[in-house]
């Protein structure tokens, strides 16, 4: 159950970022039932890739850049999150999922949206015992 919640949280954050930002998008139709049918599976796969990147690659990057994170008072974490979203877009492109992030600023704002959605879901869900 925890995995499903984790995956759906990333998917919701990605969907909202793609909806709000022109620079983050999925290939395919832009509206209607056809959009839903064609984009649900790629959205879930991209959410899985983002989750795996966040689980395995991001902690290593954060550990290696810890002195710079401290020096910048944590603002480097925003850059790292944006770069992880851009890496996710590259990996999704390698798997031909049709997910694109146009530039760094879109990735930065998109990573903020995904983080806020994740925080909201964690806040709304009851605490585990």
Q: What is the pLDDT of residues 49-70, one digit of tens each?
A: 999 999 999 999 999 999 999 9
Q: Please state, in angstroms and rounded to a whole number, the distance separating the CA atoms of residues 87 and 67.
A: 22
Q: Which of 110, 82, 89 is nearest to 21 (CA)?
A: 110
Dump pLDDT digits (tens) for 33-51. 777 788 899 999 999 999 9
The domain locations on the chain are 2-124
Reported confidence tier of residue 18, pLDDT bands at 50, 70, 90:
very high
């Amino acid at each position: 159950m925890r995995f499903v919640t984790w995956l759906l949280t990333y998917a919701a954050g990605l969907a909202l970022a793609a909806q709000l930002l022109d620079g983050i998008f999925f290939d395919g139709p832009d509206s209607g039932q056809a959009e839903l049918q064609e984009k649900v599976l790629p959205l879930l796969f991209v959410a899985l890739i983002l989750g795996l990147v966040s689980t395995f690659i991001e902690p290593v990057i954060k550990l290696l850049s810890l002195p710079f994170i401290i020096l910048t008072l944590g603002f480097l974490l925003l850059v790292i999150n944006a770069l992880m979203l851009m890496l996710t877009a590259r990996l999704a492109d390698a798997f031909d999922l049709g997910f694109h992030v146009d530039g760094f600023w879109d990735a930065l704002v998109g990573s903020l949206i995904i983080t806020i959605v994740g925080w909201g879901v964690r806040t709304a869900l009851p605490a585990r015992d």
